[in-house]
Amino acid sequence: MTDINTYEGAPEAEFRDFVALLKPRVMSLVVFTAFVGLLVAPVDVHPFIAFCSVLFIALGGGASGALNMWYDADIDAVMRRTQDRPIPAGRIEGGAALSLGLILAGFAVMMLGLAANWFAAGFLAFTIFFYAVVYTIWLKRWTPQNIVIGGAAGAFPPMIGWACATGGISIESLLMFALIFFWTPPHFWALALFMKSDYHNAKVPMLTVTHGRPATRRHIFAYTLVLAPFAIWLGLTSVGGPVYLAASIVLNALFIHGGWQILRRSEETAVADGYAVEKRVFKLSLYYLFLHFTALLVQHWTGGW
C-alpha cells in the first residue's frame, strides 16, 4: 500500500454532489411550469429577461432543495430511495448544505428582483420559506396532510413566472396553482401505495401509515374529482382554448378513471399483481401534469379563444 489517506472521514465532495443538493429533477418541473406561466402571461417579456427569470426561479427552487436536504438528512439516511443523497452518503457536511441553501436563496431572490420585478422576487422568497420552513421543518413530520401542504410549494412556480411578466396575480395564475396543488396529493399517494415501508421506517406520517391504505385509496379518488373542475376551468380563461380544453377533458377523464380503479381495488388484489394499477396511475399522473402545461404552450402559440 503506497497510498496514505490523510482525509479519512473528512468529506471531499465533487461538483456534482453540490448539483445533486439542488434536486435537479424537481428543478426541471419548476423550470417547465415557471416557463409556461411566464410565456402564457398577456405581457411580452424580452427573451433574455425571461431566460434569466426562469433561471433564478429554478435556483430558488434549488436552494429550498438544499435546505430540505440539510434538515431531512436523518430521514434520508433511513429511506432506501434517498440513502445515496450527498449528506447521508457522507460526501457533503450538513452545514455546507445549509449555507449553500441560504446563500443561493438570497442570491436568487435578489437577482430575480433585479431581472424581473420585486413582486416576483418576494413571491419567490415566500415560496422558499414555505417549502423549507412550513413544509420541511414544521409539517412534514407532524401531519399526514404534509403532502397536501407541501404541494402548495410546488404549485407556486407558474404563479411566479406569471408575476415576472405581469407583476401581479390573476385568475389564470391562481388556476395554474390549483392545477398543481390538487394534482400533488393523488400523485404522491399513488407512489406511497407501492413504496410501502420506506416512509414508515423513517417515521414520516404518510396517509398510508396513519389512516390506512383503504383511506388513502379514497383520498386519491376524491382528489382526482376535485382537481378536474379547476383544470377544465383554466381552459375557459384567457390562456385557454380548444386545444387545451380537449386535452384537459381527456386527461381528467383518464385520471378520474385511474383514481376509480385504485379506489375499487383491495390490498390483496394489489399485492397479487405487484401494484400494477397504482404504478400505472402514478405514471399517468406524470403525463397528466406535463401534458396540461404542454397544452397551455401549444394553445399560446396557436392562439386562444
Does residue 2 bind other proteins (CB under 8 A)? yes
When the beta carbons of 114 and 276 are compared against other proteins, the nearer one is: 114
Instruction: Give me the half-sphere count of Cα atoms (radius 13 Å) on the Cβ side of residue 10.
Output: 3
CB of 56 to other proteins, least distance (A): 9
CB 234 within 8 A of CB 240: yes
Does residue 8 bind other proteins (CB under 8 A)? no
Closest-CA residue to 180 (of 25, 63, 32, 7): 32
Does residue 12 bind other proteins (CB under 8 A)? yes
Rule CB under 8 A: choose which of 7, 9, 95, 268 binds other proteins.
7
Rule CB under 8 A: choose which of 1, 3, 9, 274 binds other proteins.
3
Closest-CA residue to 113 (of 103, 98, 104, 124): 124
Closest-CA residue to 54 (of 134, 118, 108, 133): 108
What gap in Å lies between CA 35 and CA 287, rounded to an integer?
18
Place of cell 405581457: 43
What gap in Å lies between CA 230 and CA 184, rounded to an integer?
14
Does residue 16 bind other proteins (CB under 8 A)? yes
When the beta carbons of 15 and 268 are compared against other proteins, the nearer one is: 15
By CB under 8 A, how many residues form the interface with other proteins?
A: 18
What gap in Å lies between CA 181 and CA 202, rounded to an integer?
25
CB of 31 to other proteins, least distance (A): 16
CB of 70 to other proteins, least distance (A): 19
- The amino acid occupying position 74 is D
Rule CB under 8 A: choose which of 63, 115, 190, 296 binds other proteins.
115
Residues 6+ apart with CB under 8 A from 18: 86, 92, 100
- Site map (CB under 8 A) of other proteins, residues 38-57, x = contact: --------x-xx--x--x--
Does residue 155 bind other proteins (CB under 8 A)? no
CB of 50 to other proteins, least distance (A): 10
Residues 6+ apart with CB under 8 A from 123: 156, 159, 160, 163
Applying CB under 8 A, the span of 14-22, 169-177, 211-219, 250-258 interacting with other proteins comes to 14-22
Q: Summarize as ranges the residues that interact with other proteins (CB under 8 A).
A: 2-3, 5, 7, 12-16, 18-19, 46, 48-49, 52, 55, 114-115
